[in-house]
Chain A
Amino acid sequence: MRNRRGYILLELVLGAAITCAMSTALFQLAVAAQSALAVQGDAADQQQRLRVATAALRHDLMMAGAGPARGARAGPLIDVLPPVIPARIGAMNPDPELTARTDRISIVFVPESRSQTTLRSGMAGSASPLAIEESSAGCVAGTTCDFAVGDRALIYDASGAVGAYEIFTVAAVDPARALIAPSAPLHRAYAAGARVSIVAIRTYYLDPAGKRLMVYDGDRSDLPLVDHVADMRVAYVADGPTGLLTTAQLADGPVIGESPSRFDGDLLRVRRVRVTLRLQGDSSSASVGDLEGTIEVSPPNMAVR
C-alpha cells in the first residue's frame, strides 16, 4: 500500500518547478501589463500637454490684433502695430528691439472690456497723467472707464500713424478727475483723441534649460504652461508671393516706429502663424517617443478683406 503521509523528493522538486514556472509567468505578465499601463498613461499625459499648449496658443492667435471695438478709430491693431512679434516684449527682460527668434512669439490684442476710450485733452508732457474721455461708448462716468491700478494699457496716436504707440502699466487712477497715471513717463506726449485701451500681451517662449513652454503676460507673471517641451518653432507666413518669412527678413527692416517700440515692417504683412511643438514623454518612461504637433492659424483680425 502506498504511503500518503509524506512527499517524495521527486514530488517536491516537480511542485517547486511548477510553482516557479507559474510565478515567473505571472510576474512577467504583471510587469508587462504594468509597463503598458505606465506607457499608456504617459502617452495620454503627453497628448494632454500638447492639447493644453495648442489650445492656449490657438485661442490667443485667434485674438491677435483685435483692437478697440467702439469709438472713433475702432478697428484692428495691425493698422498701428504688429500683433505678432517674434520676440519677448514687456516690462521684464524684454528682447532688444528688432529681435526675431523662432522659439518665441508675443501676441498683442485688446480684450473685450469697458476700458476703451480716448484722451480728452493732450498731454502737457510725456510724464503727465492721461486725461481720459468718460463719455465714450461703453464707459460709465466716474469710473475712469474701469481702468485699474496694475492694468496694462495701450496708447496710440489718433492720426493712425503706424508705429506711434506705447504700452504701459497703470500706476494710479483718479476717478474724480478721470485721470490715469502710467508707472513710468511715456516716451512722448500724445495729443487729444489718442486711443487708450486695456491691452493683453501673451509671450509664449521655450525655456530650454527647464524644457518648459512658458507664458509671460508682459508685466510680472511669467509662468510655465507645460513641461517636457523639447522644441518650439514659430513660422510667419505673409500674404502674396513672399510666403514664409525668415528670421532674417523679420529683423532687417524697414524699421518702423519710435524707440523703444520699433519693429520690422515685414511683421505687418504676416497673415498666418505656424507653431510646432515637440513634447517629450515623462523621463521615467523611456518607451514613449517624442510627440510633435503643429497648429497653423490665420488670425481673423490680421486678415485683409
Chain B
Amino acid sequence: MRTPWSDRGAALIMALMITSLVGALAASLVFVVVTESRVGRNQQAGETGAYAAAAGVERLIGELRRLPSWQMVPSSSSAAATFNDGRPVPSLADGTPLDLTRLAADRQAASDAFYPNGPNRPVWRLYAHAPLTRITSSDLRLALPYVVVWVADDSDEADGDPSRDSNGVILVRAEAFGTRGGRRGIEATLAASVVRDEAGLPLRSTVAVVVLREAR
C-alpha cells in the first residue's frame, strides 16, 4: 500500500539539488577563467601587433638605407620590396581574407581628411605586405599577425608631385592584423640622412626617424 508520506524519490531530488548547486558554482568558475584567459590572449595579441607593426617600419628602414635615392619610393610598386609576399588576397592566420584594396582606400580617405587639399597632399601606396614570420625571417609556427606597409611623400614639399620625393622625407604607416579583428598601427616620418666623419666628409647614408607614433 502506498502511504501519503512516502519518501521514495527524495534521494533523487536531493542529488539533483546538490548537483545543480555544484554545477552552478563550477560554471561560474569556468566562466571567470575562460573570460580571464580571453582577456589575457587579447592583450597579448594587441602587444604582438604593436611590435609587428614596428617590425614593418624597421624592415622598411633597412630597405631605404640601401637605396641611393628615395625619389621613386612614393610611387614604387610593392614588388620592389624584398619582404613582400606577393599574394593578391592575403589571409590572416585564422583564414580571414584581407581586402588590401579596401584598406588602401580607407588609408587614403583618413589621410585626406587630415591633410588639406592641395598638390602636395600625400598619396599613399602599398609598399609591402607579408606575415610577420616573413618580415622577421623566423620559422615560428605561431598565429602571428600579418603586416601591411604603406608609404607616401610628405606634405612639406612644394614640388606639386606626391608620387616623387624631392626632399628626402617620406611618410610610413605600418599596420599589423591579428586574428579576431585585432589591428595595431604605427606611423612614422623618415628622413634621409648622411653620416659624416670628423672632417665632415660623407661616410654613408642612413635613415633618421623624425617621429614615430602609435596609431589608433
Stretch at the interface among A66-74, A91-99, A262-270: A66-74
Q: Give the chain B neighbours of A63 by CB distance below 8 A.
A: 213-214
Interface size class of A (residues with CB under 8 A): 35 or more
| B208 close to chain A: CB less than 8 A | yes
A69 to B211, CA, bound (A): 6
Interface size on B, residues (CB 8 A): 39
Contact of B115 among A47, A48, A58, A138 (CB under 8 A): A138
**Which residue of chain B has the shortest Cβ distance to A143 in the bound complex?**
B116
Q: Give the chain A neighbours of B209 by CB distance below 8 A.
A: 76, 300-301, 303, 305
**Which residue of chain B has the shortest Cβ distance to A33 in the bound complex?**
B25
| B72 close to chain A: CB less than 8 A | no
Stretch at the interface among A35-43, A182-190, A250-258, A273-281: A35-43
A137 to B36, CA, bound (A): 46
Q: Are B214 and A37 in contact (CB under 8 A)?
A: no
Q: Are A48 and B39 in contact (CB under 8 A)?
A: yes
Q: Are A301 and B21 in contact (CB under 8 A)?
A: no
Number of interchain pairs (Cβ within 8 Å): 90
Q: Give the chain A neighbours of B115 by CB distance below 8 A.
A: 138
A26 to B25, CA, bound (A): 13
Q: Are A37 and B189 in contact (CB under 8 A)?
A: no
| B155 close to chain A: CB less than 8 A | yes
A110 to B40, CA, bound (A): 31
Q: Are A62 and B214 in contact (CB under 8 A)?
A: yes
| B35 close to chain A: CB less than 8 A | yes
* A63-B213, A74-B211 known; A34+B25 contact, CB < 8 A: yes
What 10 pairs across the A-B complex have the smallest Cβ distances? A33-B25, A69-B211, A137-B155, A44-B36, A300-B212, A137-B156, A69-B189, A40-B32, A140-B116, A66-B211
Give residues in A with beta carbon < 8 Å to B: 4, 22, 26, 29-30, 33-34, 36-37, 40-41, 44, 47-48, 51, 55, 58-59, 62-63, 66-71, 74-76, 110-112, 114, 137-140, 300-301, 303, 305
A44-B35, A305-B207 given; 10 more Cβ-contact pairs under 8 Å: A22-B14, A33-B26, A62-B214, A63-B213, A74-B156, A74-B210, A110-B211, A137-B156, A138-B114, A300-B54
